[in-house]
């Protein structure tokens, strides 16, 4: 993620660059940023197949739950969730990491889908938190 940290870009162009870098990692089959606008998550930069879930209400699905509960979420097997919003039939695991401003306000989130059960762990969460901090510092632009 050094390339993202060194990038002179800001705002959406930085988010696009970061998602392209993340998409190159093993098991990162779909990666995207959702911006929080009021009580709705709005799809921003992403790499992967288009999704019909470009607007997600807070509290709905893994992404909406992460914001509603103000926490990152790692799901080992999405088939075990009642409120899962399927973007792809191949998705088996998901990780959502919140992007927060310096004062702790949620700006959005990084969402990653994997095609293998248990694809994500604490090391992925730590990596995505570092990326989220970079994105938060240069959110506008």
CB 109 within 8 A of CB 63: yes
Q: Is the pTM of this model over 0.75?
A: yes
CB 20 within 8 A of CB 48: no
pLDDT at 80: 77
Whether the pLDDT of residue 1 is over 90: the answer is no
pLDDT at 72: 98
Domains, the chain, in order of start with CATH, read: 2-137 (3.30.450.40)
Mutual orientation of helices 122-137 and 11-23 as an angle, nearest 10°? 160
Tens-digit pLDDT profile for residues 42-90? 999 999 999 999 999 999 999 999 999 999 999 988 777 666 566 666 7
Tens-digit pLDDT profile for residues 16-34? 999 999 999 999 999 999 9
């Amino acid at each position: 993620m050094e390339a993202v940290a060194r990038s002179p870009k800001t705002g959406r162009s930085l988010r696009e660059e970061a998602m392209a870098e993340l998409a190159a990692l093993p098991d990162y089959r779909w990666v995207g940023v959702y911006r929080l606008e009021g009580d709705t998550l709005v799809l921003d930069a992403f790499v992967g197949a288009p999704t019909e879930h470009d607007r997600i209400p807070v509290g709905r699905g893994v992404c909406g739950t992460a914001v509603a509960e103000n926490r990152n979420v790692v799901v080992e097997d999405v088939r075990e969730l009642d409120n899962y919003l399927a973007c792809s039939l191949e998705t088996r695991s998901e990780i959502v990491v919140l992007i927060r401003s310096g004062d702790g306000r949620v700006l959005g989130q990084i969402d990653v889908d994997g095609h293998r059960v248990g694809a994500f762990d604490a090391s992925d969460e730590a990596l995505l938190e570092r990326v989220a901090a970079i994105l938060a510092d240069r959110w506008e632009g």
